[in-house]
Amino acid sequence: MIEEGLKNELQKQGVYVTSLQELYNWGRANSVWPLTFGLACCAIEMMAASMARFDLARFGAEVFRPSPRQADLMIVAGTVTKKMAPLVVRLYNQMPEPKYVIAMGACAISGGPFKQGYNVLKGVDRYLPVDVAIPGCPPRPEALLHAIMTLQEKILNQKLTGPDRPRHLNADVAGEFPVPAYGKHDLEPPNNPEVWQPPAIQR
Amino acid sequence: MVLVLLAVAAVGFAVAPLAAAWAWAKFFSPQKPGKDKNAIYECGLESKGDAWIHFRSEYYLYGIIFLVFDVETIFLLPFAVAFTGLPPGAFVAMIVFLLLLVEGLVWAWRKGVLNWK
């Protein structure tokens, strides 16, 4: 590992040095392929973000893949109903590692304006590890671009070794998340306790 | 000799990227297989049943008759638009065309093709 100061000094002299980790992360961060996966009105903004005016291609993320096998990023764009939630988790399980999740809009974060609905999942983070959340109802394409940039920053800063390495490089961590089943009144289980715990009320 | 060398180079040029991709996937890619990931993937739903099912041959007759009348509508629209200005010859030709198709439909109906068994 080369020191930051020496690296800057060398760069002034025209010598560029890098590490395998930086190179690897640089490649990953600039080729994030999202899954073509729109759930509600946020998907319209997602489409707009990938079109010419906002041009998601500038971030290497324009290749929307209609198959979970080829996607790196799941943009949960819209309300997740309880009927759809097992499908969302299954699609996430079917994506190859490394994979990331962006919760786009108020609905994906918390259920949004439909939070009181009996069939609305109150946040996709109850089942999936969300990397970036975008507030808004719906968020503008610029907000999605910002989320992509935030995700890129996150990927660039990931360490490939050590105890806090990402999940995909840790062989001990399970690759799949349990898919909830349709219960009599609610999904079973109502949340994945490894990912999300209901907030404890302090009195 | 040169040809053999070039052939070897050409094959190597084609195979080397494939081999590199295979080796990369084999030794460096983080593999986490599982029940869901190895399953047949569709839209998130679990796939049910077998993809190898029989289609009844009647379906094709049905499809062809549909296609004939589908194409007919392409002719019917300009026919209807230009109807008032048509010379008698064109009108007769169009009616003959329509009657031929109707006759085909009557034939298929009599044969029982339209009864879905």
ipTM of the complex: 0.70
Query: How far A132 CA lies from chain B's nearest CA (Å)?
Result: 22
A98 with A28: CB under 8 angstroms? yes
Q: CA-to-CA distance for A49 and A54, rounded, in angstroms?
A: 5
On whether any CB of chain A is under 8 Å from the CB of B37, the answer is yes
Judge if pTM exceeds 0.95: no
Residue B42 has pLDDT above 90, yes or no: no
- CB contacts, 8 Å: A69 with chain B: 41
* Nearest in space to A54 (alpha carbons), one of A146, A153, A145: A145
- CB contacts, 8 Å: B33 with chain A: 175
pLDDT in tens, A53-109: 999 999 888 889 888 888 989 999 999 999 999 999 999 999 988 889 999 999 999
Map out the domains of chain A as residue ranges. 31-188
Enumerate residues 6+ apart whose C-beta is below 8 A from A104. Answer: A42, A45, A46, A75, A76, A77, A78, A134, A138, A139, A144, A147
From B34, B39, B45, residue closest to A175, measured CB to CB: B34
Residue A19 has pLDDT above 80, yes or no: yes
Average pLDDT across chain A, whole number: 89
CATH of domain A31-188: 3.40.50.12280
Enumerate residues 6+ apart whose C-beta is below 8 A from A173. Answer: A167
pLDDT of residue B68: 86
Q: CA-to-CA distance for A154 and A148, rounded, in angstroms?
A: 10
Q: CA-to-CA distance for A53 and A31, rounded, in angstroms?
A: 20
